Amino acid sequence: MDTWQTGCRHSSAEIETQTPGKKQRCPIVNAGIKLMASTNWIEFEGRKFGIRPGEKALDAMLRQGAPISFSCRQGACRACMLQAVSGDPGIAAVQTLPPDYRERGFFLPCMATDVDSVVAQRPDLSQCVQEATVAGKTYAAPDIVVLQLEPATEIEWQPGQVINLMNDNDDVRSYSLVSGKEDYYLELHVRIYPDGAVSGWVGGLSVGDTVRFQGPSGDFVYREEMADSPLLLIGTGTGGGVLTGLVRHALAKGHRGPVHLYLGGRTAEDLYLSGHVADFPADRVSVMQIASREAVGGQPAARVAELAFDRHPDVTQTHVFLCGNPDMIENARIRAMRNGADLGRVHADSFDPPGLYQTNENEKLASIKPDPEMWEALGEGRILSEILTEFYTALFEDPRLAPFFQRTTRQRAIDKQFSFLQDLFSGTKMFFGEKPFNSHHWMVISDELFDYRERMFFDVVRKYGIEERFIHRWAAIHEMFRREIVKSAPRGILHEGKEVNLEGYSHEKMDVGSVCDGCHGEIFPGETVLMHTRTGEIFCSACEGQGAAHAA
């Protein structure tokens, strides 16, 4: 018997009587007391998610299609953190969080197993501002500050996690931690930009000053289950400093696999980490420093990611850590896929500049050469059609992915993707649909959800016997457009080189008859309707208010 489904918190042994071959209901019920429903649930964004005995709350929520972020599932990254409005999430869900987080009701579903009637919301991290004292400030290079902060309260962190540093005007920038808890201080490497709102302020700090920050958070960390795997770490600029912290932490945790650290910069002046890596044991860690614009130490000028992956053509069993410039990370992700990396073993911390990413998808598409060998392996389209049919059948039933396809049919999705891939692999020019940026412009998709879709897709591809070398090439093409697809908020649509915001509504006069998307009543030619600009939904005047709420 599944005690979660019945709502009884007694064990199966308690529910069964001692009468051989006969089962009776829980003795509490037999005593005439009404069986109460289980209180082991979390209500989140309008849905209630029941949790089975011994089950982690995060697992239960994901099992039931909850729209919740997650990563490490071990309480370290805090990606899944929620805020309890009411109810009790249990001690296990809060014991690793700092006191001020607990006071505000924050908890970790990945650690919770025995919650009591919790109504939860996404956390408001603006409430969680902590203070620290500047304990040290030195210049590692003319424009790079090493900042050491002493937190005012006891906190937990790992190298690679992020804190949000706030200046006196409440401007916020994220910086990744180089130090570990054993180093006592939070150490940041900050490149100073003269016109930088926060970095310029950091340049003016003095020892003894008080600063404010949020965090730490994030899952760009070394984990002990990586101990026997090779590590390939590639960083540019101050991202290299973060990677030295990860290497030091891995060695302290007894890492047994080989470690290869590649540090890149534009010039020799950018390669400031010689002192940080000097004590790494040469028999355990290989370190190479490369400048892209000049030779350094006998090493010709090269792009650090290209050199690293040329030297490591097979990374199927390797954990790859990438940190620094977003263009480097994009290119490195593509090379990692081409060299056989598993998505779950590629970890990235991109130092994105302020402002929105500007796509160069036209150049990306033009750079993809036809792959007749791939097309032949796909049965010149026959096997590709079967793969897409099976994949989209599963996708339209998947609670996490299906909501993105509510306004299209499965067959239309199959046909569009087939035409797009046919052009890429065979060199035909049959696809006239939207390019990746526009076709995903309104979708809020995380890196984790992107990876989820990729794993689901290539699991289907492998069922059809496609060789891994082809899968690696195919995955690299998908990876080229991660930045066009992944975003934290909807974007406008590109039209004649300009981004046009399609959120909101307009009143339109209908040239032809149609049907209202609100009440399904008839709309006649000449009638004025309310149209949602992005989705194209139309609403008659009778249900215009209801329609606006529905389409939003």
Number of helical (H) and strand (E) elements in the chain, helices listed first:
19, 23
pLDDT score recorded for residue 515: 78
Residue 179 pLDDT greater than 60, yes or no = yes
Q: Grade residue 543 by pLDDT with cuts at 50, 70 and 90.
A: low
- Per the model's pLDDT, the better-predicted residue between 390 and 528 turns out to be 390
Residue 324 pLDDT greater than 60, yes or no = yes
Residue (of 444, 366, 348) closest to 404 by Cα position? 444
Q: How far apart are CA 215 and CA 192, in angstroms?
A: 22
Q: Grade residue 298 by pLDDT with cuts at 50, 70 and 90.
A: confident
pLDDT score recorded for residue 267: 92
Residue 109 pLDDT greater than 50, yes or no = yes
State which H helix or E strand residue 437 sits in.
helix 436-439
Q: In which region does residue 169 sit, left (phi positive, over 0), alpha (psi from -120 to 50) or beta (all else)?
A: alpha
- Per the model's pLDDT, the better-predicted residue between 506 and 415 turns out to be 415
Q: Report the C-alpha dihedral over residues 409, 412, 417, 423, rounded to 10 degrees.
A: -170
- Strand, helix or coil at 60? helix
The least confident of 145-149, 285-289, 432-436, 452-456 is 432-436
Q: Grade residue 290 by pLDDT with cuts at 50, 70 and 90.
A: very high
Residue 6 pLDDT greater than 60, yes or no = no
DSSP letter string, 442-465 = T----HHHHHHHHHHHHHHHHHTT
pLDDT score recorded for residue 540: 79
- What's the pTM value of the predicted model, to 2 decimals? 0.75
Cβ atoms within 10 Å, residue 468: 12
Percent of the chain clearing pLDDT 70 (strictly above): 88
Q: How far apart are CA 310 and CA 313, in angstroms?
A: 6
Q: How far apart are CA 515 and CA 521, in angstroms?
A: 6
pLDDT score recorded for residue 295: 92
Q: Report the C-alpha dihedral over residues 191, 197, 201, 203, rounded to 10 degrees.
A: 20
Residue 84 pLDDT greater than 90, yes or no = yes
Q: What φ, ψ does residue 176 adopt, rounded to 5°?
A: -90, 145
Q: Grade residue 247 by pLDDT with cuts at 50, 70 and 90.
A: very high
The average confidence (pLDDT) of the chain is: 86
Q: How is residue 228 annotated by DSSP? A: T
Q: What φ, ψ does residue 94 adopt, rounded to 5°?
A: -125, -10
Percent of the chain clearing pLDDT 90 (strictly above): 61
DSSP letter string, 372-411 = HHHHHHTGGGHHHHHHHHHHHHHHTT-TTTGGGGTTS-HH
The arithmetic mean of pLDDT across residues 159-167, rounded, is: 94
pLDDT score recorded for residue 479: 97
Which residues lie across from 173 on neighbouring strands? 165
Specify the length of the chain in residues: 552
Cβ atoms within 10 Å, residue 176: 25
**Contacts of 478 by beta carbon, 8 Å cutoff, 6+ apart:** 337, 454, 457
Structure-token match 């915001």, residue found: 501
Q: Which strands, in side-by-side order, build the sheet including 41-44?
A: 47-50, 41-44, 116-121, 82-88, 106-107
pLDDT score recorded for residue 20: 38
Q: Grade residue 533 by pLDDT with cuts at 50, 70 and 90.
A: low
Which residues lie across from 120 on neighbouring strands? 44, 84
Q: Grade residue 466 by pLDDT with cuts at 50, 70 and 90.
A: very high
Structure tokens at 220: 């760009």
The least confident of 65-74, 77-86, 270-279 is 65-74
Residue 422 pLDDT greater than 90, yes or no = yes
Residue 8 pLDDT greater than 50, yes or no = no
**Contacts of 58 by beta carbon, 8 Å cutoff, 6+ apart:** 68, 70, 73, 80, 108, 109, 110, 112
pLDDT score recorded for residue 116: 92
Q: Grade residue 71 by pLDDT with cuts at 50, 70 and 90.
A: low
Structure-token match 């080989």, residue found: 258
Q: Grade residue 16 by pLDDT with cuts at 50, 70 and 90.
A: very low
Q: Specify the amino acid at residue 240.
A: G
Q: Grade residue 250 by pLDDT with cuts at 50, 70 and 90.
A: very high
The arithmetic mean of pLDDT across residues 370-381, rounded, is: 98
Residue 436 pLDDT greater than 90, yes or no = yes
pLDDT score recorded for residue 443: 83
